[in-house]
Structure 1
Amino acid sequence: MAALAGAGFAWLRRSSVDGLPVGEGIRHLTAAEYHLFQRATAVLLPVQGTPLTPLSQVPVVQHIDHMIGLLPGHLRKQVGMGLTLFDNAAVVSGWHGRRFVDLKTAVAVQYFDDWSHGNTIQKALATLVKRFVYVAYWRDPATWGPVEFDGPVSEKWGLAYLGNAPLPDQQPVSREAVQ
């Protein structure tokens, strides 16, 4: 029975995007991760018909690929496992019978909503995908004009980058000083 269930899952998790090539310049994402982020970008950023910058003008998945490439190997592996789980869980989670990459837009939006209110792992994975997509879109200067953002004030004001500077030491406040 377990073999039959496993074979059924393997058949259901096949996708028409599996044979599609990845975008040019992708160095760190696997093909499955690339297609997952392509689909998530379209689902999470419905900018068509709005004043926001069209997705065709922002290399969102290429930005994600770059961010993934900055992760240490052990974290990269864990992120990859989480992304695989997020994509494949749609086969049985909600009884969709197909991976996330193959869900219709309304169903994919509901999938994100359900996972955002699900158990701890579901919340974490939905947040992981959302954060990568949103940060990758909004980090691109091409997206700033429609929302009248003229760039980081640190650049505009010529502020020096301090890196991860420690907070100043704080002296304990005496009870007398608060009274």
Structure 2
Amino acid sequence: MKSPHSAPNVAAIWQQGMARRRFLKWSLLGSAGVAAVAAGGFAFLRRSPLDNQPAPDWATGLSAAEYHLFDRARQVLLPVEGTALTPSDQVPVVRNVQALLNNLDPATRKEMGTGLGLFDNAAVLSHGRRFVDLSDADARAYFDSWGRASVIQRTLATVIKQLTYSAYWQEPATWAPTGFDGPVSDKWGLAYLGNAPLPADDALRANQPEGQA
């Protein structure tokens, strides 16, 4: 189960999937169509009924568009109706996403916001409407298509999924139906030690068998 310390993992996925300083260039200029959407093209199609619905007062760390994106992702990625699992609208999924994003450094958070906007708006190209307005089936197909696409698209889809899943499963209210009784670190009183740093290149080469360096 994910813990509230999942934000560093999300940042790692984000930074491993692309070079941070090249993200805007790759994402916004990657194709003429995506660039047009991100720059303001398809203005009429990009309108959404949700544009008139502000984010809740507590969502100070999310833009209104980001709030609606993750609220839609919650519905699409956590279809627990008809199961014993806790309905996603009974736990603060989007609020938890906000808390995870608040742990990112400002530069990464800014780039993340650009990526989230790209994910939402690029659906206009394939579906004629933004991600937040897609049906459940189309939204899941959209996630699947991004999961098979470019590095940038795969990274964005993975990050959105991990944020949404982590925000749901970190809530104790979701554990009982699965038989999970809580992290052993809590039961055993183990202190959180953070994420271990990746080994330096020299250390990796030193541990490689001869002839494979």
Relative to the length of structure 2, the TM-score reads: 0.72
Which residue of 1 is the match for residue 190 of structure 2?
159
Mapped to 2, the partners of 1:40 and 1:140 lie a distance apart of: 17
Mapped to 2, the partners of 1:115 and 1:166 lie a distance apart of: 29
Change (3 A) 1:158 1:43: same
Letter in 2 for 1:101: V
Mapped to 1, the partners of 2:197 and 2:161 lie a distance apart of: 29
Unaligned segments of structure 2, at least 5 residues? 1-36
1:146 pairs with 177, 182, 190, which one?
177
2:59 pairs with 26, 50, 68, which one?
26
1:12, CA displacement in angstroms? 0.8
Which residue of 1 is the match for residue 85 of structure 2?
52
Which residue of 1 is the match for residue 166 of structure 2?
135
Letter in 2 for 1:133: T
Mapped to 2, the partners of 1:74 and 1:162 lie a distance apart of: 24
2:121 counterpart of 1:88: yes
1:158, CA displacement in angstroms? 2.2
Q: CA RMSD in A?
A: 2.3
Which residue of 1 is the match for residue 131 of structure 2?
100
Mapped to 2, the partners of 1:22 and 1:161 lie a distance apart of: 33
- Note the alpha carbon deviations across 1:38-62, whole angstroms, 9 max, x for none: 1011000001111000112110000
RCO comparison, higher one (Cα < 8 Å, 6+): 2
1:163, CA displacement in angstroms? 3.5
2:138 counterpart of 1:110: no
Mapped to 1, the partners of 2:166 and 2:40 lie a distance apart of: 38
2:106 counterpart of 1:73: yes
1:64 pairs with 89, 97, 107, which one?
97
Unaligned segments of structure 1, at least 5 residues? none
Higher Cα Rg, which structure: 1
3-state SS in 1 of match to 2:168: helix
Change (3 A) 1:163 1:126: closer
3-state SS in 1 of match to 2:124: coil
Letter in 2 for 1:135: S
Letter in 1 for 2:90: Q
Change (3 A) 1:166 1:77: closer
2:172 counterpart of 1:119: no
